[in-house]
A and B are shown apart, each in its own frame.
Chain A
């Protein structure tokens, strides 16, 4: 008798192959996750974002101001997507996250330039995410000077010599020191909630199925909505505990400012917790085993981390990735958290991020109710 039997190794190996073939979900995950990662990391994520949306207020409308704006756009760092009429409108755009920059060219810019009075242009940058804004912030002075060089020839040739004829004033909003934690910590709460809340309810129904207690539950006169509310409610409290822990850490360990109202934050957190619990409940109603439910949770978590603007600038991603991102609850929660904590945005400013979360909640809740079966069929 041999000590090491290849026959027994083969027996185990064959059994594993058979079982792997039966467990379609796991097999799909093993293939699906790498493909998803390849696509997300390869095509969607961009840590050096270009073409960030900007609001342009050109109050000069001269040859020179147009040269400056063309130069700014040609740099590919920013695209002038908005042309607000008033400063208030421009402020709203940046606070709501519609644009990452405001570029203001004052009146008489061209005249003052021609007179050699060294006029100023203003670049206001949303610095909540330092990595997103740094490209434009660091190079705008040079871009403007380069853009004017061709115009400053002939009689104005002297101005083209150093020092630069224009002063680019840069205002870094919300996170002037460019501290990464300011951006990461509020967003991290979104990832923590997405991971734990979805996971905990994802196993809620499948655990009953696996333990055989589901049959007993289904034999009882309980309605699907009662079951759903009863199943998710306890975890809302857990979600609040997580939130408090993160907020205390944010305040004392990372000294992140809290510019907005706690009430708005509370509303955002509550909505987001419920959305994630419902997603978990939905997974639970379609998965057969706890393992499957957890795999689905993981499968959703990956884009929530990568496409939500948590780690990488949302506006730096290609269009298609932004569309996917818009469908993810984490994306809207990131905006809400950064809006409230860093920008001091109020509920009205943040409506654009509140309503998608509400819509996702309704859709997922309805799907869960449709999928939840009151029979064993």
Chain B
């Protein structure tokens, strides 16, 4: 069968599976809609958390990002896993013990104030919307790439699918579809990785092949990669090029941000008790680690393989995957020195960020560009980093069904994250704003209806943002972590580990963290992008890492203001004591 037919078949089957699961496990009460009835098995919740956590960009772009960042890519590997330690040790068990539905629920009651609740809802919606708009765009891109529909059409199909299972199923439906999505996604990721590892190093475990000798030689893969890149004028793969303070701060911002992300925290409200919450965070990390330890291996395989098959090769002799992805628009070659061979080195092959194909073919059959070649360097090759994962099956000469599988995996990754985010936004609106703050008299049934309406409206808005992306969306997604680290994490942490922290402290802390971090990012990314370099940054910390400073400001203000304001009432002290008790 053709690759395209198989892709439709696999994707169609996987969608049927997700919708089937959602219908079978649809939510009948608010308890089921918000937290899946609190009866989810810790292993299943771990899998669902992993699927929720790993978005289309983890699945498609992360290996490519690491391949081209080399050692600097470690910030993502450590940053997006280390937060689970903080979550399991410091937050998840206590928030589960508290036992309500949402993160603002806890903040509102612990800080005995509806103002604190509303401020936390604002932070939550802010963080989640930034994140979901980027995801929706991702859904559209994944659909358009695999199913050959327009991005807009892709977003609409994605909206439809998520609508069916998130609005009907609530948290319960989402949880069990995410379990299925995790299985599809991890299988799709591992198959090509294992074969690549066998081809390059004869070791079936990519994690070990990464540190192994190349097949038929005495040289370690990493040493070869370092040497090859240095010979071409790149920085060595195994050394940091960012400053130590920046690497430190970005890693920390991603870690603390991870455990402050509401859609991650709320997953631990769905298990039966504290012990299950801790174990579940452990299982989640195991499931995430399967992909996250494979990704850097794939990255190094792909970078080495790419250089080997491209550098000084006649275009006519380029491997077939090179030409296939050139046809799709993710690769281009500009023959600057007119020798018919491809030269790959640091620097831009042409002016502008993306290749604009003229529609004509050059003398060797390459697609010609309208971009002006950048003659300040000798690099002739452009490639999109997503290519690393997308082209793996072809590079490893795997049968076409594997390509179809990767398509289904990418879609599973995109949909599962979108659904998780959708749920926290809708529950923040129906539960925290309506039921708890503005219209406390509504019945449970009405609240459930409002939750569904809020979910539907959120999908529409997110879809709209996906179709007409504001220019800033793509750039800002990574900053959701900094915002979560500087607003929600400190307030949750102090709420559990200190009995004295007052409402005034929490409200000021959250607002200061949000304003500082957001202001710094907006200043360097949008107001004065020309100043966005290390000499102008505060202490040399880039906007990606500034959330850590925002977090420090938040903690400091909370400590000072707590001393200046009157102590929390006895009921709050009792609450904190009760959530600490096993």
* A interacts with B: no
